Amino acid sequence: MFSTTRKGNPVLIMGSNRYNLTTGYSGHKLRWACTKKMIGLPVFSTTRYGNPVLILGSNRYNLNPGYRSGPKLRFACTKKMTGCKAIVYTLDNVIVEYKRSHNHR
Ligand SMILES: [Zn+2]
């Protein structure tokens, strides 16, 4: 079933899941991404010291270099020192898991 969001963006609803239209996908086919997976496009950057950093919305995440679980990368919120437990996992520069448990705004 097709619908539109409050902002007028197309959304595909199947069962209890919602999918957003992925813009920028070439070809005639439309590509839909689950709203739970597509939190936003992560921006990969590096710090002044050359360490990888992931920027998602208004939050920044540092790479956990000690984390090893296959090809997935684990990024922890830069406010981790203040007790923030938000974690982002990426695979091929795409967010595959997002624990949005920020203790701050
Ligand atoms: Zn946080």
Domain extents for the chain? 2-34, 43-99
Task: Compute the distance from residue 76 Cα to the ligand 1 centre, in Å.
Answer: 8
Kindly state the average pLDDT of the residues 28-38: 69
CA of 14 to the centre of ligand 1 (A): 31
How far apart CA 81 and CA 8 sit, in angstroms, is 39
> Higher-confidence residue: 38 or 100?
100
pLDDT value at position 104?
A: 92
- Secondary structure string (H, E, C) spanning 50-79: CCEEEEECCEEEEECCCCCECEEEEEEEHH
What does the pLDDT look like over 15-32, one tens digit per residue? 877 787 776 666 777 787
CA–CA separation, 37 vs 7, rounded Å?
A: 19
Report residues near ion ligand 1: CB below 5 Å.
Answer: 77, 79, 84, 86, 102
Rounded CA separation 93/101 (Å) = 21
Q: How far, in Å, is the centroid of ligand 1 from the Cα of 61?
A: 8
